[in-house]
């Protein structure tokens, strides 16, 4: 039977998201919905996004947790009729609800780790919803193979752990069909969420790399949905991540979340670097919170390592004590010092590096021969055997045999290798008797083994102290610096696992350390682990999600873009697109008009190689400035010479060059300067500083203007250029502290200019001059695209209160591009600006205005 998930996979992967076909109509889950329409309509992704304007049917918030697998254990009943389900106590997802408010309902969406017959799926789904609050996503076996075993485990997992597919048998080359299956699987998960969601009341928390494009599917349907994502694996450096052929699709999908969580700052820094290098997004840190501005939405970045569930570990410890398992192990290893390793059997856990370090320690420190034992527990790999599994297994077995043959003797084996499944109780028993835990993973997202070990060495509260330890609670850790828990364990001995010699010395140091120091390190770790448990982690994430989403229902939101280019634009309710009809009507009715236009990015495309305006633009500016009722100015940061040359045909056009330091009302009028001082001695101080940074920043350059100096780094490495610009800004402010200049940063520039030169001062001067001449403007149009133009918008906002404009003046302050601004209007790009100006020019050419003028003169 062919899975419906495979319908039009090519369209799915390209982002067209077609409607999935149905094998049969399934019974819907009983759930009150606030979204108008049936489930059938909701499954059509081409429908318009739901704005969540209807009243909610629930009075309290609810959390929907979405992950690849539900936190359930499933097994077939003995009579082979139906299934038996229980909670998986070891699942992190099951335990994280401890951090939520008691009255918060928690719903889980995910797949099962068993294959349920399609005939049974409806009944199983209803049972899981009613008894466990779980909504199962049934993925067909052929889809799982390509989605999980293919794309997740052979593409994302190796790449996120810094393994590049240099050859076909090393990590797996990119397979387009696996990517299509990944998208299809994420689509199925989104459909299950849509079936049960209340968009106004629910939070959605998505977990891990299996579901990284799910945020786009959900955001397309619910623009204001409160949604977070947490990545439990490492996020690689930008050089590694950018090798992924679908890098932009995944990154854009993640940015449709409201909050993105990582275990460590390193992982978050790599993610932010990708956003900067690929999309030009720069993060801001404010009051301890990191955020990215993405089309008016603030995407929060959360850095918080996950913890363990203290109660569950302690209950398992009590059970292990009752079963005498701890006593058995103490007797088995009596007189021995036990080092312990607990790792999944995969290529990134560095098990063989640990064995080599143990071998080196026994060679360099022979006193440990016959006394030190490394117990290595290798958990069976999850899913299929994985990359290089057989090779790793063989290498480990050969190392174990060699070391045991060399150093072993009757009654003593230095390496005890356990690759059979152990119960949680047995694992806890080993933790309890180990003097030191060694983790030599070459790359790992978090690794909670050290946390579990610390709690087990603390023992159950109220229990008798271990007489073998002299009543002291002590533990020691040797951990790889490349795992997520390493930064939080300041008392551990951190090692580079690739350096076998240093790891062996660290192991020797750990077991040779005095008991008092072991106790101090243990106490420090236990204080952290016991207070930063899984409940603390989930509570902190929920609080940050609430804070990040606080403005969702205050702003206007709408979706733009196709496929994985989809994003939500979130802007102030008063910020709207400029209507050409409205502005033309106001233009025709007005008598005296002020029109202020930026140059680059407004009437000229920002990145255009051609720096002279087209004939169409020249014609428009000539017609607008030729109207006696219009005062038209180009207000730019460019020099007066280049602007005069480019705009030479426009005789009546006013020009404000170098941010208004030079102004000319028309070609037949002399240039005037706005500054009182003509002393530019400060340039001799600023230029050497800029040259210093130019020499050390490849791709940067200095532009020398008559009144200003500009250092631009558009062609430099984005990360390095930004860092250099920030450093230069501080340097220049220090050097020029007593000079009458302003040092400002802009889009890929740092500029030093006279304090009195700003576009805002230009606007103020024009409005004041018009009012003094009895021609106070009753129509104002001001358009710009960058930070310097915000000065004009601010002045216009205050012009009425300063009597520069009357209360009856019609004002159109307009920014180019949909972004936060002090302007009230926006146009999407320069082509829309030119189209709007063309309409105003045509209105100028019509006889309506001239008739009004004639009636006035009469």
The model's pLDDT over 629-653, given as tens digits with 9 standing for 90+, comes to 999 999 998 888 989 999 999 999 9
Rounded mean pLDDT, 100-106: 92
Rounded to the nearest 10°, the torsion over CA 731, 735, 737, 740 is -110
Q: What are the two backbone dihedrals, phi and then psi, of residue 804, each rounded to the nearest 5 degrees?
A: -80, -30
**For residue range 147-164, what is the model confidence (pLDDT) as tens digits?**
999 999 999 999 999 998
pLDDT of residue 410: 92
Whether the pLDDT of residue 708 is over 60: the answer is yes
3-state secondary structure 741-798: EEEEEECCEEEEEECCCCHHHHHHHHHHHHHHCCCCCCEEEEEECCHHHHHHHHHHHH
Question: Looking only at Cα atoms, what is the longest distance across the chain?
Answer: 122
Report which secondary-structure segment, H or E, holds 69. strand 62-69
* Residue 288's pLDDT band (cuts 50, 70, 90): confident
- Tokens at residue 398, please? 């050969």
* Residue 252's pLDDT band (cuts 50, 70, 90): very high
pLDDT of residue 33: 34
Lowest mean pLDDT, pick from 26-30, 141-145, 354-358, 689-693? 26-30
* Residue 494's pLDDT band (cuts 50, 70, 90): very high
CA separation (Å) from 71 to 112, 261, 307, 317, 484?
9, 20, 17, 22, 23
**For residue range 596-614, what is the model confidence (pLDDT) as tens digits?**
999 988 998 877 677 788 9
CA separation (Å) from 690 to 663, 687, 724, 727, 728?
27, 5, 10, 11, 8
Whether the pLDDT of residue 49 is over 70: the answer is no
Rounded mean pLDDT, 271-282: 90
Say if strands 630-635 and 654-657 run parallel, antiparallel, or are unpaired: parallel
pLDDT of residue 856: 42
B/e letters for 719-739, b = 16+ CB within 10 Å, e = fewer, are eebbebbeebbebbeebbeeb
pLDDT of residue 99: 93
Looking at per-residue pLDDT, the higher value among 739 and 518 belongs to 518
E-only strand ranges, 279-408: 283-286, 289-294, 297-303, 337-344, 372-379
pLDDT of residue 339: 97
* Residue 41's pLDDT band (cuts 50, 70, 90): very low
Whether the pLDDT of residue 506 is over 90: the answer is yes
* Among 252, 469, 497, CA closest to 353: 497
* Residue 383's pLDDT band (cuts 50, 70, 90): low
- Tokens at residue 785, please? 């695209």
Mean pLDDT of the chain: 86
Lowest mean pLDDT, pick from 129-133, 468-472, 562-566? 468-472
> Which residues have CB under 8 Å from 585's CB, separation 6+?
none
* Residue 851's pLDDT band (cuts 50, 70, 90): very low
* Among 219, 249, 192, 178, CA closest to 20: 192
DSSP string spanning 517-546? HHHHHHHHHHHHHHHS-HHHHHHHHHHHHH
∠ CA 559-46-52, nearest 5°, is 50
pLDDT of residue 29: 43
Instruction: Assess contact for 834 and 601: CB atoms under 8 A.
Output: no
Q: Can you tell me which residue has the tokens 């049972």?
A: 127
Rounded mean pLDDT, 222-243: 95
Rounded mean pLDDT, 175-198: 95
pLDDT of residue 588: 94
Rounded mean pLDDT, 389-397: 88
Whether the pLDDT of residue 454 is over 60: the answer is yes
Instruction: Assess contact for 132 and 139: CB atoms under 8 A.
Output: no
pLDDT of residue 122: 93
**For residue range 338-364, what is the model confidence (pLDDT) as tens digits?**
999 999 988 899 999 999 999 999 999
State CA 310 to chain mean position distance. Answer: 30
Whether the pLDDT of residue 126 is over 50: the answer is yes
Q: What is the pTM of this model?
A: 0.80
pLDDT of residue 822: 86
CA separation (Å) from 112 to 387, 756, 806?
23, 67, 68
* Among 827, 817, 755, CA closest to 791: 755
**What residues are paired with 810 via a beta bridge?**
779
Whether the pLDDT of residue 587 is over 80: the answer is yes
Say if strands 337-344 and 436-439 run parallel, antiparallel, or are unpaired: parallel
pLDDT of residue 5: 36
Whether the pLDDT of residue 21 is over 50: the answer is no
Whether the pLDDT of residue 50 is over 50: the answer is no
Whether the pLDDT of residue 238 is over 80: the answer is yes
**For residue range 689-705, what is the model confidence (pLDDT) as tens digits?**
999 999 999 999 999 98
Query: Cα(243)–Cα(800) distance, rounded to whole angstroms?
Result: 54
Instruction: Assess contact for 313 and 452: CB atoms under 8 A.
Output: yes
Report which secondary-structure segment, H or E, holds 643. helix 640-646
When mean pLDDT is compared over 78-82, 175-179, 817-821, the highest value belongs to 175-179
Lowest mean pLDDT, pick from 183-187, 398-402, 851-855? 851-855
pLDDT of residue 282: 84
pLDDT of residue 229: 98
**For residue range 715-738, what is the model confidence (pLDDT) as tens digits?**
898 889 988 999 999 999 999 988
Whether the pLDDT of residue 858 is over 80: the answer is no
pLDDT of residue 575: 82
Rounded mean pLDDT, 579-598: 93
Q: What are the two backbone dihedrals, phi and then psi, of residue 370, each rounded to the nearest 5 degrees?
A: 85, -10
**For residue range 561-583, what is the model confidence (pLDDT) as tens digits?**
888 888 887 777 778 889 999 99
Rounded mean pLDDT, 793-818: 87
């Amino acid at each position: 039977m062919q899975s419906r998930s495979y319908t039009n996979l090519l369209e799915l992967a390209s982002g067209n998201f077609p409607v999935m076909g149905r094998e049969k109509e399934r019974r819907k889950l009983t759930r009150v919905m606030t979204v108008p329409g049936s489930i059938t309509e909701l499954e059509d992704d081409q429908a318009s996004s739901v704005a969540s304007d209807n009243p909610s049917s629930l009075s309290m918030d609810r959390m929907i947790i979405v992950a690849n697998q539900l936190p359930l254990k499933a097994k077939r009943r003995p009579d082979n009729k139906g299934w038996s389900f229980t909670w998986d106590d070891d699942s992190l997802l099951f335990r994280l609800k401890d951090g939520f408010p008691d009255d918060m309902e928690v719903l889980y969406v995910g797949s099962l780790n068993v294959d349920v017959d399609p005939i049974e799926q409806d009944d199983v789904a209803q049972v899981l919803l009613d008894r466990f609050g779980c909504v199962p996503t049934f993925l067909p076996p052929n889809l799982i193979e390509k989605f999980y075993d293919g794309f997740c485990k052979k593409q994302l997992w190796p790449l996120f752990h810094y393994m590049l597919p240099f050859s076909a048998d090393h990590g797996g080359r990119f397979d387009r069909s696996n990517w299509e299956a990944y998208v299809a699987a994420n689509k199925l998960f989104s459909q299950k969420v849509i079936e049960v969601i209340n968009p106004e009341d629910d939070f959605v928390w998505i977990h891990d790399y299996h579901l990284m494009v799910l945020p786009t599917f959900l955001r397309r349907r619910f623009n204001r949905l409160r949604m977070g994502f947490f990545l439990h694996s490492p996020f690689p450096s930008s050089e590694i991540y950018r090798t992924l052929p679908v890098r932009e699709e995944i990154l854009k999908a993640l940015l449709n979340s409201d909050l993105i969580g990582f275990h460590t700052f390193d992982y978050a820094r790599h993610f932010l670097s990708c956003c900067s290098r690929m999309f030009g997004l720069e993060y801001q840190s404010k009051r301890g919170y990191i955020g990215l501005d993405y089309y008016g939405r603030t995407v929060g970045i959360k850095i918080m390592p996950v913890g363990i569930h203290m109660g569950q570990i302690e209950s398992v410890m009590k059970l292990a004590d009752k079963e005498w398992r701890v006593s058995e192990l103490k007797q088995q290893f009596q007189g021995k010092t036990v080092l312990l390793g607990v790792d999944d059997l995969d290529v990134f856990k560095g098990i063989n590096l640990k064995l080599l370090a143990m071998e080196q320690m026994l060679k360099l420190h022979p006193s440990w021969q016959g006394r030190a034992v490394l117990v290595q527990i290798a958990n069976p790999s999850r899913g299929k055997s994985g990359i290089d599994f057989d090779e790793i297994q063989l290498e480990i077995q050969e190392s174990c045999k060699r070391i045991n043959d060399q150093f072993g003797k009757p009654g003593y084996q230095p390496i005890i290798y356990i690759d059979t499944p152990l119960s949680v109780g047995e694992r806890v028993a080993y933790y309890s008797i180990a003097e030191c835990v060694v983790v030599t993973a070459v790359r790992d997202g978090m690794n909670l083994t050290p946390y579990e070990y610390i709690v087990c060495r603390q023992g159950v509260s109220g229990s008798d102290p271990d007489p073998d330890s002299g009543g002291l609670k002590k533990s020691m850790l040797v951990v790889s610096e490349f795992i997520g828990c390493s930064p939080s364990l300041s008392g551990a001995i951190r090692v580079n696992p690739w350096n076998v010699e240093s790891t062996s010395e660290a192991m020797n140091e750990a077991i040779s350390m005095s008991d008092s120091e072991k106790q101090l390190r243990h106490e420090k770790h236990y204080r952290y682990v016991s207070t930063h448990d899984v409940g603390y982690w989930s509570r902190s994430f929920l609080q940050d999600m609430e804070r990040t989403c606080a403005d969702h229902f205050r702003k206007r939101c709408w979706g733009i873009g196709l496929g994985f280019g989809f994003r939500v634009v979130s802007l102030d309710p008063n910020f709207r697109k400029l209507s050409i009809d409205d502005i033309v009507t106001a233009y025709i009715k007005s008598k005296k008009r002020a029109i202020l236009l930026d140059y680059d990015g407004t009437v000229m495309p920002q990145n255009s190689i051609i720096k002279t305006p087209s004939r169409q633009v020249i014609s428009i500016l000539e017609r607008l400035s030729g109207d006696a009722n219009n005062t038209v100015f180009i207000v730019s940061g460019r020099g007066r010479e280049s602007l005069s040359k480019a705009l030479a045909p426009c005789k009546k056009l006013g020009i404000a060059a170098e941010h208004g330091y030079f102004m000319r009302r028309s070609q037949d009028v002399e240039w005037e300067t706005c500054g009182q001082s003509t002393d530019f001695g400060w340039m001799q101080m600023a230029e050497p500083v800029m040259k210093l940074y130019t020499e050390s920043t490849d791709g940067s350059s200095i532009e020398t203007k008559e009144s200003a100096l500009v250092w631009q780094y558009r062609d430099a490495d984005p990360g390095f250029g930004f860092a250099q610009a920030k450093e230069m800004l501080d340097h220049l402010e220090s050097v020029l502290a007593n000079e009458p200049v302003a040092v400002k940063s802009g889009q890929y520039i740092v500029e030093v200019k006279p304090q009195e030169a700003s576009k805002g001062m230009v606007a103020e001067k024009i409005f004041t001059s018009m009012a003094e001449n009895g021609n106070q403007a009753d129509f104002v149009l001001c358009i710009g695209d960058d930070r310097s133009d915000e000065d004009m918008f601010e002045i216009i906002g205050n012009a009425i209160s300063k009597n520069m404009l009357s209360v009856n003046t019609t004002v159109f302050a307009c920014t180019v591009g949909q972004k936060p601004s002090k302007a009230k209007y926006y146009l999407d790009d320069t082509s829309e600006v030119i189209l709007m100006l063309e309409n105003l020019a045509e209105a100028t050419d019509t006889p309506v205005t001239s008739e009004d003028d004639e009636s006035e003169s009469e």
